A and B are shown apart, each in its own frame.
Chain A
Amino acid sequence: EPEVTQTPSHQVTQMGQEVILRCVPISNHLYFYWYRQILGQKVEFLVSFYNNEISEKSEIFDDQFSVERPDGSNFTLKIRSTKLEDSAMYFCASLPGAAGNTIYFGEGSWLTVV
């Protein structure tokens, strides 16, 4: 079964450093998402991406965050200058496009900022 893949599975970074989290969505999907889950908390929406541009973003997704789909297969989340509170599990997800379809999640990238 097709799946969303994410790398790295775990990254430790120093505060202030830039981090890029990578995702390969399912190939024929049209909508792409990043979600975040701080340890012990709920899954929070960060951003959705469609037709090579951001379609919606949450309050969490400030100027420190950016997304890109550089080559038609990868979908990246960049955090420019990480803060301690950015420590979380980051989930990538993709959706085929129709209203009744399921959103598929990757297994997540665990980011620890020290």
Chain B
Amino acid sequence: GQQVMQIPQYQHVQEGEDFTTYCNSSTTLSNIQWYKQRPGGHPVFLIQLVKSGEVKKQKRLTFQFGEAKKNSSLHITATQTTDVGTYFCAGRSDYKLSFGAGTTVTVRA
């Protein structure tokens, strides 16, 4: 079945630095979604990418969907303490969403 791999599992970042989390699917996706989950909370939808090669930005967050629609990345610039949490990618194939294992981000001031 469809598998979505996400790396790194943990990312410890100095405040102000940039980092990237990567997501790879074993199958071609119809779209990919990104979620953020704060400790103790539920996954909150951030963005959806549908087109091959699509790039979307939300302030300091840049999301990219690969040309083959099998991989995606999230790049955060100038990390802030509010960026703490776990970022999940979720690949959509037909009507099913499969989540990656998440990248848990901690920030040191």
Q: Which residues of A contact B (CB under 8 A)?
A: 31, 33, 35, 41-45, 48, 50, 55-56, 89, 91, 93, 95, 99-100, 102-108
Contact = CB atoms under 8 A, between A and B. Distances in A.
A89 B37 CA distance: 13
Contact of A105 (B45, B50, B101): B45
B45 A104 contact: yes
- Which of B43, B48, B88, B90 has the most C-beta atoms of chain A within 10 angstroms of its own C-beta? B43
Contacts of A50: 95
B13 interface: no
Interface residues of B, number: 21
A45 B97 contact: yes
14 contacts: A41-B101, A43-B43, A43-B99, A44-B99, A45-B96, A48-B95, A48-B96, A99-B31, A99-B95, A100-B31, A100-B48, A103-B97, A105-B35, A108-B42
Contact of A31 (B50, B95, B100): B95
Interface in B81-95: 88, 90, 92, 94-95
Contacts, number: 52
A97 B100 CA distance: 23
B77 interface: no
Top 4 A-B residue pairs of the complex, sorted by shortest distance between their CB atoms: A43-B99, A42-B101, A108-B42, A107-B42
Contacts of A55: 95
